[in-house]
Chain A
Amino acid sequence: MSVHRYPQPSGRSRRLWRFHGGVHLPDRKALSNTRPPLRAELPGRLILPLQQHIGEAAEPLVKAGDRVLKGQLIGRPRSYVSAALHAPTSGRVTAIEDHPVPHPSGLSAPCILIEPDGEERWAELPEPMPDFGTRDPAEIRERIRWAGIVGLGGAAFPASVKLNPGRPIHTLILNGAECEPYITCDDLLMRGRPEAILEGIPILLHLTGAERCLIGIEDNKPEAIRALYEAARGDERIEVVRIPTLYPSGGEKQLIYVLTGKEVPSNGLPADIGMVCHNVGTAAAIADAVLRGRPLISRLVTVTGGGVAQPGNFEALIGTPVADLIRQAGGYTGRGDRLVLGGPMMGFALSDDGIPLHKAGNCLLLPTPEEAPDPGSALACIRCGRCAEACPVNLLPQQLYWFARAKDLDRVQDFNLFDCIECACCAQVCPSHIPLVQYYRYAKTEIWERERERRQAEHARRRHEARQARLERLERERQARLRKKKAALAKPPAKGDDPRKAAIEAAKRRAAEKRAALAAQGKTPRNTENLTPAQRRQVEAAEARRAAAAGSDTQE
C-alpha cells in the first residue's frame, strides 16, 4: 500500500493511494460500449420480486386482478431497512406468487406479476422538489425512500438508509470506477447523462452535510472522465478523479482508500470516517426522484459476452425477463455456455433465463468457453501465496480456505473472514483453480446459521425459565393460600407475627414476579446484545451482498 501521483483531467496530477493486491484483467468493455443504450421493448410480462434489496421484503399493496398505473406504488417497505416497489408500466396484476428470482442458489420468492397494457399511463406522481436545498433532509429522504431507490452498483442497499448515517459526514464519494470487466452501464450513463449525475450531487451533499464530492473513475473510461469533468466545471465542491484501472478499485472501501488514503475500519462503515459512498447511477436515480418525482422503475443494463449476437446496453424496465433482454441483444449465438448476472468476478451464474432483471442487475454476461474456460476440477492448494498477494483486503485466502474446508468456523473468523469482500481476486490467480470464494460464502452462511440457532436456543431457554418462574410463583401462591386457610382453621393468629411474615412474603413475591416479568419480556438474547451495531451491520451487509445478487464492483 503506497501513495503516488497520478495525472488528472485538469492536466495536473493528484495524490492517489494504492491498495494491496488487486488484479489486472482484460477489460472487454469495448464489446458493449460502442453504441448508445437502446430503450428495451415493453415485455409481455413483468416479474417484480418483492425483495430486490438488502433488508426486509416489501409488502404488496395490490392483489391479483388489480389494474396498476405506471409509477404506482405496489409494494411498501415493511421496515426501516426495506425498499418500496412501483409498477414499471401500466397494466394488470395477474398474480402474486413465487417465481424464480435472481439469487445464487436459484431460489423462488414472492413476486408481483404484471401484464402490461401497452398504454404506459402514468400514475399521479409526487411534486418535484427543485427547492430541496431549503427543505428538511428528512423530507427528502422520505421521497428517496418512496422512490424505492437502492444502490444500483450491485449491492442494492436502500439509499435512504445510507443517506442517514447519523454521524457527521465531510466527503461524498461517487463511485464511477466500474472496475469489473465487461460492464459498461455506468460508463454509458456518465457519458450520456452526466448532468443527471451532477443534479444528484447537490441533493446528496445537502442530505449528508458533506462539503465536497469526489467522483472516482477508472482511466479505461476516458470519455466518461471527460464528460463528467466538463459538466462539473465551475462547481468547486466536485472533483472528478481519474484513477488507475485495477480490479477491484470500485469496491467501496477500496475506492475510498484510493481517493483519500483513509481506511474504512474493519467491521465499520464509511460513515465511521466521515464519508458516504454512492454509485453514479444511484445519484442519477435520486435526482430523478427528488427533482422530477419519479420512482425507480427502470435501469441501464449491459448485455454482453461472446454468447450474445449484438452486445450493448439497454434502458430496461425492472422486472423484464432476462430472456427478453437477450433476444433484443440479437439473441444467443450458441457459443455462450453460462449466463452470469453481474460481472465476471462477482456475478453469479444463473441456471435459467426466465428470471427477471432486478434493481441491482447491472449486467448480463454470456462468456464463451474461450472467454471463460472451464477450469477443470480443483487441485490441492500448493500454498504458493499468490492469493494472498492478490487480496485487496490483505487477508490470507489460503488459510481462510483451509479453515473453511475444515469447517473450523472460529478460526476462519479469527482470520477475518468477514472482511472478505468476495472480489474473487484470489480465485483468479490461484494455480490450483480452487473456487475459493465459494468456500468463503459457504463459511459465512454456516456462521450466520450457527448464530441464528444460538439465538433461537437462547430464546427458548429464556422462555423456559420464564415459564418455570411463573409456575413456581403459582405454586407458592397456592401453598400460601393453603397455609392461610389452615392457619385460619387452626387458631386465631398470634398478633404481631403474621403481618410481618405476610409483608416479607409479599415482598419476596413481588421480587420474583419482577424477575419473571423481565425474563418473560425476553430481553433480546445475550449474543445479539453482545454484537456491536457495527458487527450487526456487517452481518446484514454481507448477507445482503449475497442476496442482492449481481454483486458488482460497486458495492454500494
Chain B
Amino acid sequence: MQFKTPAPPHTRLDNDVTRVMAEVLIALVPGIAAMTWYFGWGVPITLLLAITTAVATEALALWLRGRPPKATLMDLSALVTATLFTLTVPPTLPWWLSVLGMVFAIGVVKQLFGGLGYNPFNPAMAAYVFLLISYPVSLTAWPPIQELAPHPLHLMDYLGVIFGGHPPGGLTWDAVTMATPLGEMRTQLGMDHMISEIRQSPLWGDYGGRGWEWIANWYLLGGLWLLFRKAISWRIPASMLGGLLVMAGLFWMMDPESHPFPAFHLFSGGAMLGAFFIATDPVTAATTPKGQLIYGLLIGVLVFVIRTWGGYPDAVAFSVLLMNMAAPTIDQYTRPRVFGTHAREAGHED
C-alpha cells in the first residue's frame, strides 16, 4: 500500500497565524468599544474604511505579485493593521487619508517588502507616521471626548467631517477639536505652567487624561487576556511600560511641578495600546528573550524622551519604528546560550 509522506511532526499543530491574529482582534474589541464610546461614530466609520481598503489593497498586491490571495487574506493580519491604524488616528480623519494610509501600509510597507513576515516596519505605525509628517494638521486634530465636547459629533456630523471634509452646521474646525491631554500637557509646560495648575483642566481624569484613562484600561484588559492566552509574551509589554514608568518616575521625583505623575504617561496616550498591541507585533520586534526586554525597555524610554523633549505630543509610533530598525541588531547581540555551550553547573538560571 502507498502513503503520502508529509514532513514531521505527525500531530495536530498547536497554532496557526489566523488564530494568532484573531486573538489579537478579539483582545482589541474592548478598546474599540471604549474608543467608540468616548469619541462616537467616527471610530467605526474609520475602522470600516480602513479594513475595506486594507483587504482590497492586499488582494490587489497579491494578485499583482502572482500569489494566491486566499490563504494570505485568511490570515487576518490586514485586519489587525487596519484596526491598529484606526485606533491611532483621530476619528475625524478625512476618508481619503484613511485610504491613503492603508494603501501605504499594506501596499508599500508590507507587500513591497514581500508580505507578512518580511516587513521590517510595523505597517500601521509606518502609515501613521507617514500621514503625520505629510498632513500634520489632519492627524493632530482630535475632537474632545463626547462628554467634554461643546458640540458632540453625531453620526451625520461624522459622515460630513470624514467624507465632506467640513465640520457640521457652520462650525469651525476649532470648535469641534480640542487638544488631547498629552498635547495640552506639552503646551502648558511649554508656557512654564506648573503641573498643579495644569491639573485644574477638565481634560484630566483620575490619573490620566479623562476618557483616555478608561480607554487605556480596556486596552490593558485585552492585553492581559492575550498574556493569559500566551498569545504574546510578557517581556515586551512589561519592559516597555516599565521603561516609561521608570523614566517618568525619576523625573517626576526630581521635579513634580514640571513633570507629570508617571501614571499620566501610562494612561493618557497610546502607551497601553503600544505596549500590548503594537510593540509586540512579532514581525517587527526583537525575537530573542533578552532582546525583547531590551527592545521594550528602549521603546518605553524613547516614548518618554520624545514626549518630553521632542516635537510631537505622542511618541509611540516614532519609538516603535525607531526600534524596529534596531531589532535585528538587538537580536544579533542577545542570542540565548545554547544548551551545552559553556556548560555551567546546574541549577543556575539562564
Residues on A facing B (Cβ under 8 Å): 1-3, 17, 19-20, 23, 25, 106, 181, 253, 257, 260-268, 273, 323, 332, 337-340, 344-353, 365, 367, 371-377, 379-386, 388-389, 392-396, 398-399, 415-416, 419, 424, 427-433, 435, 437-438
A-B contact count (CB 8 A): 200
Name 24 interchain pairs, CB-CB below 8 A, sorted by A: A181-B11, A253-B339, A263-B340, A266-B340, A268-B340, A337-B3, A338-B3, A349-B5, A349-B10, A350-B5, A351-B3, A353-B3, A367-B10, A367-B11, A375-B16, A379-B17, A379-B72, A392-B339, A395-B338, A396-B287, A416-B341, A427-B7, A429-B13, A438-B7
Measured CB to CB, the nearest residue on chain A to B8 is A424
Q: Mark B1-32, 1 if CB is under 8 A from A, else 0.
A: 11111111111111111011000000000000
Measured CB to CB, the nearest residue on chain B to A262 is B346
Question: By the criterion of a CB under 8 Å from any partner CB, how many residues of chain B are at the interface?
Answer: 53
Q: Give me the 3 closest cross-chain CB pairs, A-B, nearest first.
A: A261-B346, A380-B117, A435-B7
B75: interface (CB < 8 Å): yes
Q: Besides A265-B341, A351-B5, 5 other CB < 8 A contacts?
A: A263-B343, A273-B343, A338-B10, A428-B14, A435-B8
Q: Residues of B contacting A268 with CB < 8 Å?
A: 340
- B117 with A1: CB separation less than 8 A: no
Measured CB to CB, the nearest residue on chain A to B285 is A383
Q: B-side binding surface: helix, strand, loop or mixed? A: loop
Report Cα–Cα, A345/B12, bound state, in Å.
11
- A388 with B339: CB separation less than 8 A: no
B88: interface (CB < 8 Å): no
B228: interface (CB < 8 Å): no
Residues on B facing A (Cβ under 8 Å): 1-17, 19-20, 71-72, 75, 77, 114-118, 233, 282-285, 287-289, 292, 331, 335-341, 343-350
Q: A332-B1, A338-B3 are in contact. Are A427 and B8 (CB under 8 A)?
A: yes
- A344 with B9: CB separation less than 8 A: yes
Report Cα–Cα, A424/B6, bound state, in Å.
13
Measured CB to CB, the nearest residue on chain A to B231 is A384
Q: A261-B345, A438-B7 are in contact. Are A385 and B340 (CB under 8 A)?
A: no
- B13 with A433: CB separation less than 8 A: yes
Q: Residues of B contacting A266 with CB < 8 Å?
A: 338-341
- A377 with B71: CB separation less than 8 A: yes
Within the complex, the shortest CB–CB distance from B247 to chain A, in Å, comes to 26
Q: A-side binding surface: helix, strand, loop or mixed? A: loop
Measured CB to CB, the nearest residue on chain B to A428 is B9
- B335 with A396: CB separation less than 8 A: yes
Q: Residues of A contacting B71 with CB < 8 Å?
A: 376-377, 379
Measured CB to CB, the nearest residue on chain B to A392 is B339
Report Cα–Cα, A337/B77, bound state, in Å.
32
Report Cα–Cα, A18/B343, bound state, in Å.
15
Within the complex, the shortest CB–CB distance from B337 to chain A, in Å, comes to 6
- A346 with B8: CB separation less than 8 A: yes
